Amino acid sequence: MKIQAAETVEAKPVRIDGAAEVTMRLLIGPAQDAPTFNMRLFEVAPGGHTPCHSHDWEHEVYVLGGAGEVRSPDGQVPIAASDCVLIPPNEEHQFVNTGDETLKFLCLVPRDSR
């Protein structure tokens, strides 16, 4: 078993075209010998957003705090603390902070995804 405080993991800026004011902490992954999944903590500043993108794997998101929306070809859906989101494989999506506080969410993806 391995336990660490999330705050001790370095928050790295997301430097991908289309991202603005986003950091990511890889909480659980290869460094912890996780065999299957990566657990990542994203923090999106007010007015910030992740890039609009898609990929071959699903991912699950749990919103910890703040307010925002998930944008997809089907429209925009509001999200807030305690919401759970499933993004299916190959679905275009983007997370946008629409509130006045940092939007924080956990994102779980297969270990070998990028």
Query: Mind listing the domains of the chain with CATH numbers?
Result: 6-110 (2.60.120.10)
Torsion sign (Cα): 46, 51, 54, 60:
negative
pLDDT tens-place string over residues 90-103: 999 999 999 999 99
Residue 114 scores a pLDDT above 80:
no
Q: What integer pLDDT is reported at residue 60 of this predicted model?
A: 96
- Model pLDDT for residues 22-77, shown as the tens digit of each residue: 999 999 999 999 999 999 999 999 999 999 999 999 999 999 999 999 999 999 99
- Which three-class secondary structure state does DSSP give residue 6? helix
Which DSSP helix (H) or strand (E) runs through 75?
Answer: strand 75-80
pLDDT at 113: 67
Residue 29 near residue 107, CB atoms below 8 Å? no
Given a cut of 90, is residue 84 above it in pLDDT?
A: yes
Taking the model in full, what pTM does it have?
Answer: 0.94
CA dihedral 28, 30, 33, 34 (to 10 degrees): 50
Write down the pLDDT at residue 54.
95
